[in-house]
Chains A and B, each alone.
Chain A
Amino acid sequence: MIETQNLTRHFTVNKKTVEAVRGIDLRVEAGEMVALLGPNGAGKSTTLRMLTTLLPPTSGTARVAGFDVTTQDREVRRRIGYIGQGNGAGHSQRGRDELITQGRAYGLSAAAARERAGELIASLGLTEVADRIVSSLSGGQRRRLDIAMGLIHAPGLLFLDEPSTGLDPQNRANLQEHIRRLRAEHGTTIVLTTHYLDEADHLAERVVVIDHGRIIADASPERLRSEHAGDRITLTFDHAEEARRVAAHPPGLIEGARIEHDGTRVVIEATGGARLVPELLRILEKENSAVVSVEVVRPTLDDVFLNLTGRSLREDGADLPGTTGGKDEVA
């Protein structure tokens, strides 16, 4: 569905060249659900804008839905759906009219566009508000209208740029449900950008981590976790003395793991940690070290990002030193 080679995009800001995307090679097969994850300014949106023909690449090539984004841009546009960061419906328009216009823009007949608009209005729960002026709709309703517009021509490939930004948790959950259903029912290939970890984690089968305009990891959330971050096992002992002893002379089982000791607690970070715990407890019992409690925490994608870059994804929003902060919005 998507194949890029060394896709690159530079911007000139105040006479300085900003390398927003620095050579991305990405292959997405039909039916995949892929999340591009990274902090603000990482180059996610710029990449998406090149794939959707909104932005010509500085160099490199991209084929989307079988066509080249630079030389066959209209063919690409016919075959993709795109839900951008903003609201797609005009403020002075009515939702239903915008949906019909959108259908017509994709070559549907007036009757077919009207029928399709009706279907989407019903399935996205917009019946009450579809004939109201768009500026009177709530943020969640507008977002659903955006989704309806992106789906009007039943595209085989759908791009979503930060789909849940600005939505409350309930609307975010609804949105994710719609995306999941879309995929289950129609086998739509979906590519979305997000800086919400849970969204990437829950929604995508494949997470492409982007930082500084490059792909730094590309795997399922599960594999990213097991390869780039360990489970965190916290053992609590009766006495600080015991904790210190265990931390100083760890059993061979957890050799090589990162071990920290703090008061009566020992924190061990190890891949496949949950499976280690029973054996670990047996060994410690033999050594007469009484473990009072055990806690195993699965790593988050933030831990993955932290281990990959040395920075936390959660810091975004603040300007990270050394990033092209906010470039995505400008683009």
Chain B
Amino acid sequence: MNTTLIGDTLIVFGRELRPVLRDPFSVVFSLAQPLFFLALFAPLIPAAGGTAETLQWFVPGLIVMSCLFATSSTGSNLQFEMQTGAHERMLVSPLRRPALIIGRALKEIVPTFAQAALLIAVTIPFGFRPDPVGAILGLLLLCVFCVGLGALSYTLALASRNQEWVFWGVQQTLLFPLLLLAGMLLPVDNGPEWLRVLSRFNPLTHVVEAERALFDGRLLAPEVAAGVVAAVAVAAVGLFIGTRAMRRATG
């Protein structure tokens, strides 16, 4: 009868993942989106070097972006289960509260791994050279960040209750500034001073920069340390707020 947080998380994760695995079409569709960005956006990026250099810069950011889209909307699945009663039934079970959040957020990362593998596979012929160890560490770092982001999405779902439009409105409003300020699609280096300053305060910037360093194989670069700090901070804050919101929101 003794359970652990990890065991509880795996139970939630497994439950969430099951319908995804059974319905691989949704995964196939989710794979297409980053490919569009790769094909239609990457050629627009101004780069001094050739295609290879652009890809080396662009692909890690694209992987983070795919993950960002998936995890920030995880709350919407929860919202549906809050309406049906499935969430309530999980809340009455002895599953630990953080496990309910972490398990859900981790499930959103699974398609990201598939997307990352696909992106790497299609860009290698064009000169993308990811460092294998760095890439794996990069994906793990992404997991940490996304657990925090998933928890915040979960909090938003709890706060907006049954009003789906509120959830999506807030999610979109916050997502795009964060994404653009992180220098994910276009570098912010040439932007005005205020934009660069804002960018430094965006935790996502540090995660993206850490990913680029890791995929380059610069495992000990200062960007990596900053990225780890940012990811851990987001995870800690997200889990704290999310768990608290869940304890309260049952009222």
Contact = CB atoms under 8 A, between A and B. Distances in A.
Interface size class of A (residues with CB under 8 A): 20 to 34
B1 A87 contact: no
B94 A54 contact: no
B2 interface: yes
A90 B88 CA distance: 11
Interface in B58-100: 80-81, 83-86, 88-96
A88 B81 CA distance: 9
Contacts of B92: 52-54, 77, 80, 82, 84
A49 B15 contact: no
A207 interface: no
Contacts of A93: 15, 18-19
Interface size class of B (residues with CB under 8 A): 20 to 34
Given A55-B251, A101-B15, A331-B251, A84 B94 contact: no
A97 B18 contact: yes
A78 B94 CA distance: 5
Interface in A48-103: 49, 52-56, 74, 77-78, 80, 82, 84-94, 97-98, 101-102
Contact of B84 (A86, A104, A105): A86
Contacts of B89: 82, 84, 88-89, 102, 146, 149
A55 B96 CA distance: 16
A86 B162 CA distance: 14
Contacts of B23: 92
B interface majority secondary structure: helix
B244 to A, nearest CB: 12
Nearest to B96: A74
A90 B84 contact: yes
A26 to B, nearest CB: 19
Interface in B193-251: 247, 250-251
A84 B251 contact: no
A54 B15 contact: no
A107 interface: yes
B132 interface: no
Interface string B151-179: 00000000000000000000000000000
A87 B81 CA distance: 9
Contacts of A105: 8, 11, 90, 93-95
A97 B11 CA distance: 11
Contacts of A97: 15, 18
B15 A90 contact: yes
A149 B15 CA distance: 14
A11 interface: yes
Contact of B88 (A86, A91, A94, A98): A86
B80 to A, nearest CB: 7
B93 A84 contact: no
B250 A107 contact: no
A108 to B, nearest CB: 9
A303 B113 CA distance: 64
B120 to A, nearest CB: 30
A106 B15 contact: no
A88 B85 contact: yes
Contacts of B88: 54, 84, 86, 88
Interface string A128-151: 000000000000000000100100
A148 B93 CA distance: 14
A56 B91 CA distance: 13
B49 to A, nearest CB: 46
Contacts of B190: none
A104 B85 CA distance: 19
Contact of B93 (A49, A55, A102, A146): A102
Nearest to A97: B18
A8 to B, nearest CB: 13
A84 B23 CA distance: 29
Given A11-B251, A82-B89, 6 more contacts: A54-B91, A90-B15, A91-B80, A98-B15, A105-B8, A107-B2
20 contacts: A49-B250, A53-B92, A54-B91, A56-B250, A74-B94, A84-B89, A88-B86, A88-B89, A90-B81, A90-B86, A92-B23, A93-B18, A101-B15, A102-B89, A105-B11, A105-B90, A106-B94, A107-B1, A149-B89, A331-B251
Interface of B: 1-3, 8, 11, 14-15, 18-19, 23, 80-81, 83-86, 88-96, 247, 250-251
Interface of A: 11, 49, 52-56, 74, 77-78, 80, 82, 84-94, 97-98, 101-102, 104-107, 146, 149, 331
Q: Sorted from nearest, which 10 A-B pairs have the closest CB atoms?
A: A86-B85, A88-B89, A92-B19, A105-B93, A82-B92, A107-B1, A78-B94, A101-B15, A90-B86, A77-B94
